[in-house]
Structure 1
Amino acid sequence: MNKKAMVMAFITIVIWGSSFAGIRASLHGGYSSGHLVLVRFLIASGAFVLYALWPRTRFRLPAKQDVLKILVLGWIGITIYHTGITFGEQTVTAGTTAMIVASAPIFTAIIAVFALKEYPSLFSWIGLGIGFIGIFLITVGSADAAFAISGGALLIVVSAIATSAFFVFQKTLLPKYRPVELTAYFTWAGTLPLLIFSPGLLETVQSATLEAHFAALYVGIFPAAIGYVTWAIALSSGKAGAVTSMMYIEPVFAILIAWVWLQELPSLLSIIGGLIALSSVILVNMFERRRRRAG
């Protein structure tokens, strides 16, 4: 990755790392999973509508030939991913959810080989493998839940695969659109199917706690809107596999934020796993940079 891609990806990872605790806080405060995922993307969609209507933005509509692809990617990357995450977090803690989602770089690297002809070097595959070991250690070291193939965990694994496909195929549209435009299209497309959760929404909003409302507002504006824009900028500036490898360090921030926000204390083994995951990102980018210079 170049400097711009790395900075944008890092900003995104910090923002996204906070989303898992925000979701848990909203669920604990009275939101149901369906209502929460709908509310946060209604907020994000509204933010993009305001941006599009701002006269100085010169917001463009998508080309007709790209509409179907945008719709499908919006359903995969927004609807499927966030529905799986939100329902999965009913039984899986914020830190553990982030660890499972952090497996996405492996799926992304595999998909990118076939879709984008991006072939990682042998050392990059080794780096990805080391990162997976780090994720496993973080999961095993979680103080409140050991890794198990539960219904919630399976939903989150499906979400990880969905977001991997979304990242890869999103990149093919980035040369034609600005990142903020493309993110708005995906957000609007992905929000439409979520309207199925609208029955009973008013009652939930009225009964939820103030903290739950603030958490829902936060995850709607920052992880759901701003985070996807900065991520699109990162993807437009670097290889999909290399950029997505930054997701390995997301659990580190997720655990720290959950520690402060939800009092979920990380264990020593979790910290060791986080350090290993961070080292894998450094390895992947170091070897890819050396390979490009040698080529």
Structure 2
Amino acid sequence: MDVRNAIKFMIISALAFACMNIIVKHLENVNSYQIVFFRSLGSLFFTFGYLIKNKIPFIGNKNKLLILRSLVGAASMVFFFMSLKYLSVGTAVSLRYIAPIFAAIFAVFILKEKIKPFQWVFFIVSFIGVLVLKGLDTQIDTLGLIYVLIAAILSGLVYIMINQIGQTEHPVVVVNYFMFTAMVLGAVLSIGNWVTPKGMEWPLLLGLGVFGYFGQIYMTKAFQTASTNIIAPLKYVEVVFSMLLGVALFNEVYTFWSILGILLIITGLILNVWYKGRLKQ
């Protein structure tokens, strides 16, 4: 277990995802469907290349589940990118990260798993953070909040589907299904809504897939290098990077209540990861 390298990988991943979020925020004149299309197209260049180079079959074993996971994941991506049109980047990212709460709830009903009482306490801490953001931060847009919560719920469902897929599929095959489905969905939804990108919007759109792919790759490397309970909390560094970039590039303002709400959300989620790690020891 190489913790130092794992931490480095996770920080690179968080920075890559933060850069992708910032690009989406910058592309305010391009609709979210096109952004999903280009983000997926860029990543497909890498996933197709990897599968061809390593002679890995494109078709998986659990095709119906792979397609369903891809559709739900693509819908989650659409709603998240839509939320960035209305919310500050750091707020949107932190709210999207409450997905594990919904995943735990889905697991109770679908997988018949049990949640320990302490986990519910940690989830409540995160949920209070959401209430603080919406109830006390007057900058929070209601429509943006609805979009990002839908994205988080769908992302939670994706976690359950990935659990069901298990080790039967190569990780790149799963990502490839997801990106291809998202590309098709983005293309179909863009019909009648197409806005022709101008100037620097073209390279920025193509850059989405690059940042998204490397964010995914380095996150995977991090989890493969060190234990989950050490690495998982570092995912939330993405929130910090996103906030700093939002302030620097878009002059975003975070009130006391927005920072408190984000801290409560992240604290509850990190405590849940830490507690789950202790249970496995």
Give the structure-1-normalised TM-score. Answer: 0.77
Q: State the SS of the aligned residue for 2:76.
A: helix
Match of 1:119 in 2: 114
Aligned counterparts, 1:198-217, within 5 A: 198-199=190-191, 204-205=196-197, 208-210=198-200, 212-217=201-206
Match of 1:218 in 2: 207
Q: State the SS of the aligned residue for 1:58.
A: coil
Alpha-carbon distance change, 48 to 175 in structure 1, aligned in 2, over 3 angstroms: same
Q: What letter matches 1:42 in structure 2?
A: L
Shift of residue 185, structure 1, vs aligned partner: 1.9
Q: For structure 2, which runs of at least 5 residues remain unmatched after alignment? A: none
Match of 2:86 in 1: 91
Residue 76 of structure 1 contacts residue 166 of structure 1 at CA under 8 Å; is this kept in 2? yes
- Supply the distance in 1 between the matched residues of 2:161 and 2:232 (Cα, whole angstroms): 13
- Of the structure 1 ranges 9-18 and 109-118, higher mean CA displacement relative to structure 2 is found in 9-18
- Of the structure 1 ranges 270-279 and 161-170, higher mean CA displacement relative to structure 2 is found in 270-279
C-alpha RMSD of matched pairs (Å)? 3.6
Shift of residue 89, structure 1, vs aligned partner: 2.9
Match of 2:247 in 1: 259
Aligned counterparts, 1:100-139, within 5 A: 100-138=95-133
- Supply the distance in 1 between the matched residues of 2:183 and 2:249 (Cα, whole angstroms): 27
Q: Is the counterpart of residue 276 in structure 1 residue 268 in structure 2?
A: no
Q: After superposition, what is the alpha-carbon deviation per residue over 1:161-197, rounded to whole angstroms, capped at 9, x for unaligned?
A: 1111112211222411232222112211222222214
Match of 2:56 in 1: 59
- Supply the distance in 2 between the matched residues of 1:131 and 1:247 (Cα, whole angstroms): 16
Match of 2:40 in 1: 41
Residue 34 of structure 1 contacts residue 197 of structure 1 at CA under 8 Å; is this kept in 2? yes
Q: Identity across aligned pairs (percent)?
A: 19
- Supply the distance in 1 between the matched residues of 2:188 and 2:226 (Cα, whole angstroms): 36
Residue 91 of structure 2 contacts residue 262 of structure 2 at CA under 8 Å; is this kept in 1? no
Match of 1:179 in 2: 171
Shift of residue 62, structure 1, vs aligned partner: 2.9
Alpha-carbon distance change, 11 to 104 in structure 1, aligned in 2, over 3 angstroms: farther
Q: For structure 1, which runs of at least 5 residues remain unmatched after alignment? A: none
Aligned counterparts, 1:123-162, within 5 A: 123-138=118-133, 146-150=139-143, 152-162=144-154
Q: What letter matches 1:272 in structure 2?
A: L
Tell me which of 48, 58, 72 is aligned to 2:68. Answer: 72
Q: After superposition, what is the alpha-carbon deviation per residue over 1:243-278, rounded to whole angstroms, capped at 9, x for unaligned?
A: 987766653332222112322132333333444334
Q: What letter matches 2:255 in structure 1?
A: S
- Supply the distance in 1 between the matched residues of 2:102 and 2:227 (Cα, whole angstroms): 14
Residue 65 of structure 2 contacts residue 161 of structure 2 at CA under 8 Å; is this kept in 1? no
Q: What letter matches 2:185 in structure 1?
A: P
- Supply the distance in 1 between the matched residues of 2:108 and 2:226 (Cα, whole angstroms): 15
